[in-house]
Structure formats: structure tokens, C-alpha cells
Structure 1
């Protein structure tokens, strides 16, 4: 179970199983209506082994890692380790996933741009086999 410890923002609400595998919490920090529906900003906290499903963003996304260690992977590319202090600029329409490592939680800020009222298209889950492969490298 994830506990609120040293994060500066509240833990947030559980992330839906339609978008995440494992225990994930999402805390909205800036809602789209406050910034002319251009983007949203949220903190996402992943328990060890938790991750997003594969997804894309119509205008891209930026991740700012606050705590822990995890992974970012674009479809067809090797996974990249991300840790406290990492930044990831995700291009528009690139299929990818991100989440915590097996042994450590991951906390990141996600800044997602919005196009026609949409900031993300959710796809299939990252399978346990796909997730295990990033740890074998």
C-alpha cells in the first residue's frame, strides 16, 4: 500500500484499472479549465511494479520525476530507466508506457497537452511479460 510520506502534494485518488496495472494514485494539480483547456498537470504515484497501460497523447506529454525509480518505454524501443530528477519529453502520438520499478515506488508530475478536449488515448495493458523484459536488460 502506498502511503503519503515525503511528497509535497497529496497522494490523490486511486487510478482506474482501465488505465493502470497495480496500485496507482493520481492527484490533479492544475485542471484544464484553469488554463484555457490547453493542458492538465497531475502527480502520479506508482507502487512498486505498477504502471500505465500503453497510451498516446495527441500533443505530447512531459514527465518530471520527483521520487523513486521506474521505466519509460516507447513501443518498439528499449525501455529507459527514469529516476528522481529525470525529465521525459514524449512526442505527440507516440505509443508508450511508464511506471515504477519492481522494488521502488515512482512519483512523477505529468503535464499533458489537450487537443479537441482530449489529452490521452488509452490502449492495451502492458503485459507482465513485457514488464518483466525491461528488468532483464
Structure 2
């Protein structure tokens, strides 16, 4: 067993992967052979990810606020505190805060054997205003 009492500093989400102000807090990134990765992601109103996908899928659990999520070819879905979203392995998607609200969620992924957790693509060009 290992108890983490001091976490890495909060990091700002890089502009090549996010639009708007996004902050990332690493919750868990255990050493191999574990491949679990967990972050608390904080989105300012209107902030969101670029299109991306995960080799083993992703779980999002909304902690506070209201947000939006969309899979490629699907409709924009509203999400709010208490909602949990399962994103299938390899499914292109984006997610973020609603246009007028903050939103925080836990993001849980499993890294691939090579350590990759996310494949990033283009920015979202039709994010709801």
C-alpha cells in the first residue's frame, strides 16, 4: 500500500489540447505494472477539450457544475454533477464546461502498453455558444 500525501502542482491544460482555461490535478499515476491514470479536470465556462480518443476508453465522473460531451457523429449531451460517462475505446469525442458554467470532473483512463493514454486531434470548431 502507498498513501500519497502531496500531489504534483496543478497544471494548466496545454492550448494544443484545450480551448479556454482548463486546470489539471493529477490524482493517480501509479508505477508499472499499473496503467491507471486519474485526473481532476477543472473547466472555466466554455472551456473544452479538442477532439481526442483513448486506447482503453475513459470514464468521466462530473463532480460539480454543468458541461457538455459529444462523440463523433453523435449529438451534444448535457452532463451535470453526479453524472458518469463511459467513452468506448477508440471513440473520438470532446467534453468541457457549459457556455455559462464551470465544470469539474474526474477523468480515469488506462494507459496502453507503450504508456499512451490519449490521441489528440483537431480543435472543436462548432462548440455550442
Q: Please tell me whether the aligned partners of residues 70 and 98 of structure 1 are also in contact (alpha carbons under 8 angstroms).
A: yes
Q: Pick which of 84-93 and 111-120 moved more.
A: 111-120
Q: Tell me the distance in 2 between the aligned counterparts of 1:36 and 1:84.
A: 32
2:12 counterpart (11, 14, 25): 14
1:104 aligns with 2:127: no
Q: Tell me the distance in 1 between the aligned counterparts of 2:9 and 2:99.
A: 20
**Match of 2:4?**
none
How far the C-alpha of 1:32 sits from its partner, in A, is: 3.9
Q: Pick which of 36-45 and 101-110 moved more.
A: 36-45
Q: Tell me the distance in 1 between the aligned counterparts of 2:16 and 2:34.
A: 24
Q: Please tell me whether the aligned partners of residues 8 and 26 of structure 2 are also in contact (alpha carbons under 8 angstroms).
A: no
How far the C-alpha of 1:62 sits from its partner, in A, is: 0.1
**Match of 2:3?**
none
Q: Tell me the distance in 2 between the aligned counterparts of 1:86 and 1:21.
A: 23
- Can you give the 5+ residue segments of structure 1 that lack an aligned partner in the other structure? 1-8
**Match of 1:46?**
43
Q: TM-score, normalised by structure 2?
A: 0.89
Q: Tell me the distance in 2 between the aligned counterparts of 1:45 and 1:19.
A: 14
How far the C-alpha of 1:10 sits from its partner, in A, is: 9.3
1:43-68 CA distance string (max 9 Å, x none): 00000000000000000000000000
How many aligned positions are there?
Answer: 122
- Higher share of residues assigned helix: 1
Give me the CA root mean square deviation.
1.7
How far the C-alpha of 1:102 sits from its partner, in A, is: 0.6
